[in-house]
């Protein structure tokens, strides 16, 4: 049965400006700007004040109301991305063949060599706004950083999925590059 109205408030912290027009949300903060288009969902997204954003669904069924929280989460992720940034750490796991990772074009592209001794070179381009670096504190680790959580996590997933083992028992051949930590760049 439909509810009359369901709404959700999103607090906007200091230093972040959110601009909403026709479900196109623009979030500006110290680390940059993010834009997301929510025209695929029918919702009222209103900026009530400098520090509050309200999302309303009138007359919604179950699935429509569920979208309120997903859109709120998207916007909250944009806000943390623009203030704190996202950092995904990935570890190399290998039994015999050391995985050789080169970072080219200033942290925008990754080359993976010698995965399981294979001659094929895996090249993965990072998505917009994502930078990748070798970890200085830890051996066999790379760190992806960026403002947009969707881009950072998708780039990490592309790397992880590029190092999949074929025609072998994957319980035994555990080689690969796996996401070990999902966190924020600015820790406090």
If the CB atoms of residues 46 and 157 are measured against another protein, the closer one turns out to be 46
Write down the least CB distance from residue 19 to another protein, Å.
Answer: 14
Write the burial class of residue 79 (CB in 10 Å: 0-12 exposed, 13-18 middle, 19+ buried).
buried
Task: Using the Cα atoms of residue 141, residue 143, residue 144 and residue 150 in order, give the sign of their dihedral.
Answer: positive
If the CB atoms of residues 35 and 46 are measured against another protein, the closer one turns out to be 46
Phi, psi dihedral angles at 116 (to 5 degrees): 60, 25
Task: Using the Cα atoms of residue 170, residue 176, residue 181 and residue 184 in order, give the sign of their dihedral.
Answer: negative
If the CB atoms of residues 47 and 91 are measured against another protein, the closer one turns out to be 47
If the CB atoms of residues 3 and 120 are measured against another protein, the closer one turns out to be 3
The rounded Cα 135 to chain-centroid distance in angstroms is 19
Alpha helix locations (H) across the chain?
62-83, 149-162
Write down the least CB distance from residue 46 to another protein, Å.
Answer: 6
Write down the least CB distance from residue 28 to another protein, Å.
Answer: 21
Chain residues binding another protein by CB under 8 A are 2, 4, 22, 44, 46, 58-59
Write down the least CB distance from residue 55 to another protein, Å.
Answer: 12
Measure the CA angle with vertex 16, ends 20 and 75; round to 5°: 50
């Amino acid at each position: 049965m439909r509810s009359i109205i369901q709404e959700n408030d999103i607090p906007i912290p200091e230093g972040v400006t959110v601009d909403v027009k026709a479900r196109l949300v623009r979030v500006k903060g110290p680390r940059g700007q993010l834009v997301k288009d929510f025209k695929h969902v029918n919702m009222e997204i209103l900026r009530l004040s400098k520090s509050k954003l309200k999302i309303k669904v009138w007359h919604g069924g179950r699935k429509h109301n569920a979208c309120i929280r997903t859109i709120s989460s998207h916007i909250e992720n944009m806000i943390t991305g623009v203030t704190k940034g996202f950092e995904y750490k990935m570890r190399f796991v290998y039994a015999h063949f050391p995985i050789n990772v080169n970072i080219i074009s200033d942290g925008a592209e990754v080359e993976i060599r010698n995965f399981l001794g294979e001659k094929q070179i895996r090249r993965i381009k990072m998505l917009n706004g994502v930078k990748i670096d070798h970890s200085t504190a830890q051996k066999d680790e790379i760190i992806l950083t960026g403002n947009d959580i969707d881009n950072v996590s998708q780039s990490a997933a592309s790397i992880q999925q590029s190092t999949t083992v074929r025609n072998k028992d994957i319980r035994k051949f555990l080689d690969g590059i796996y996401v070990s930590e999902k966190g924020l760049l600015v820790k406090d």
